[in-house]
Amino acid sequence: MVTGPLVEMLARNSKFAQSYQAPPGLVQMASTMRSTGAGVVVISCSDPRLNPYQILGIDPTLKATMVRNAGGRVFDAIRTLAVLQTIGAPGTIVVMHHTDCGMIHWHDADVKEALVEVAPEEKESIEASKFGEITSSLEESIREDIGILRASPLIKKSTQIVGVKYDISTGVLSVVDETKSEL
């Protein structure tokens, strides 16, 4: 039986579905996307305070596809990005990291310790995994992720890859200069 906030969410879905209008079919949409290269994929953090649709003004006239995970880390999203590229051939991938991110506060050692408590039998694989901690400046973590995308054989070399930093205290999004190194 469903309990908690999901009860209300399911009730809201019933209302949502009453006036819902179905979008075009996927094959048709993908064909249009592939022919224009206009697709934009945004990889950003799962943080519920961050709403990439609002941040970028996404609406029916300006579309983007979202990939979200802890920290908005690329290594954790390569499979999805590669699949999306196969389907919609996006011309642009945006890597968005944000200030006050959980991955700045909780490092891999903290995550590992907590996960080993949950699954002690998986200690070895947990210890050997990385979980996306951000221990550098955001500019550096963004550049690191852009580098992973550029080096990936699964990502088309023609893809425009842009790193952006989101300041969660001001709402300001700024493009990170890829070439500038931190002093």
Which residues make up each annotated binding site for Zn(2+)? 45, 47, 98, 101
Cα gap 135→133, rounded to integer Å:
6
Report 55-114 residues binding Zn ion (CB under 5 A). 101-102
Structure-token pair, residue 93: 């991938």
Helix, strand, or coil here: 82? helix
Q: Shortest distance, CB of residue 108 to Zn ion, whole angstroms?
A: 15
Using the rule CB under 5 A, which residue among 33, 42, 43, 45 binds Zn ion?
Answer: 45
With tokens 């999901």, the residue in question is 6
**Single residue of 47, 133, 139, 145 touching Zn ion by CB under 5 A:** 47
Q: Give the whole-angstrom CA distance, residue 119 versus residue 74.
A: 25
The distance of closest approach from Cβ of residue 68 to Zn ion in the complex, given in angstroms and rounded to an integer, is: 9
The β-bridge partners of 65 are 41
Cβ count near 24 (within 10 Å): 10
How many Å apart are CA 136 and CA 74, to the nearest integer?
Answer: 16
Give the whole-angstrom CA distance, residue 162 versus residue 156: 14
Q: Whose Cβ is closer to Zn ion: residue 97's or residue 143's?
A: 97
Q: Among residues 45 and 89, whose Cβ is nearest to Zn ion?
A: 45
Residue 138 in contact with Zn ion, rule: CB under 5 A: no
Residue 47, Cβ neighbours under 10 Å: how many?
A: 18
Stretch near Zn ion under the rule CB under 5 A, chosen from 44-52, 117-125, 136-144, 173-181: 44-52
Cβ(182)–Cβ(140) under 8 Å? yes
Q: Which is nearer to Zn ion, 44 or 65 (CB)?
A: 44
Query: Residue count at the site for Zn ion (CB under 5 A)?
Result: 4
Q: Which is nearer to Zn ion, 63 or 105 (CB)?
A: 105
Eight-state DSSP code of residue 2: -
Taking the least distance from each CB to Zn ion, the nearer of 34 and 107 is 107
Could you list the residues known to form a binding site, using ranges.
45, 47, 98, 101
Closest approach, Cβ 109 to Zn ion, in A, equals 18
Which residues form the interface with Zn ion (CB under 5 A)?
Answer: 45, 47, 101-102
